[in-house]
Copies of this chain bind each other. A is one copy, B any other.
Amino acid sequence: MYSSITNHLKHYINPTERDLQLFQSCLNSISVDKGKFLLLPGTQVKHEYFVLKGCLKAYYQDEKGHRHIIQFAIENWWIGDFDAFYNGVPSRLHIETIEPSKLLSINYDSLQELFKTAPIFERYFRLLTTNAFISQRKRILSSLEKNTMERYVEFCESYPTIEDRIPNYDIANYLGVSAESLSRVRSKLKR
């Protein structure tokens, strides 16, 4: 159960056996059916999630009911509402499973305790957060100038293997382009 998270850790840090045990003791395993909500807006958020298997989306629903997809997560990605998790404010996001998913959850209090007993995890989460910040900024810059094809290609690089697992309209929503325009680009690329 812990092999993929352990590999993920080892990609960023060099944990001891004790570090790994302390980390694993903070985790809980959960299984969620397709189309279920892991998080709803306006709730307290006590967990972040690491994807062992499956696919999820995080989105914001505005006052007019329009959904804006903020993040997808597939195997070996973390997903959560950072602001709500770290600052204790009510969540603003929906997190919904696109496929049946197996996840590891980490609880906020356990994580804070872990930072004290095994400070090497400060580094792991610093590196992850730095990457997340950079990806988010890249997405903002892409939305300023790249065309649909460039944005779709960039998306496939960020989320390899995902393009056949997510409905076309969800990818289009995430990229901020029309579903029709994305369909045309995907057909062209398949030729």
Task: Spell out A's residues near B (CB within 8 Å).
Answer: 60, 62-63, 68, 70, 82-83, 86-87, 92, 115, 119-120, 122-123, 125-126, 129-130, 132-134, 136-138, 140-141, 144-145
Contact = CB atoms under 8 A, between A and B. Distances in A.
Contacts of A140: 70, 136, 140
Q: Which of A63, A70, A145 has the most CB of B within 10 A?
A: A145
A126 B122 contact: yes
A97 to B, nearest CB: 21
A64 to B, nearest CB: 8
Given A62-B144, A83-B134, A123-B126, 11 more contacts: A60-B141, A62-B145, A63-B145, A70-B140, A86-B134, A119-B120, A119-B122, A126-B126, A129-B130, A132-B133, A133-B136
A82 B122 CA distance: 18
A137 B70 CA distance: 9
Contacts of A134: 82-83, 86-87
A123 B129 contact: no
Contacts of A86: 130, 134
A147 B108 CA distance: 33
B68 A144 contact: yes
- Going nearest first, the 5 A-B pairs with the smallest beta carbon separation are A126-B126, A122-B122, A62-B145, A133-B133, A129-B129
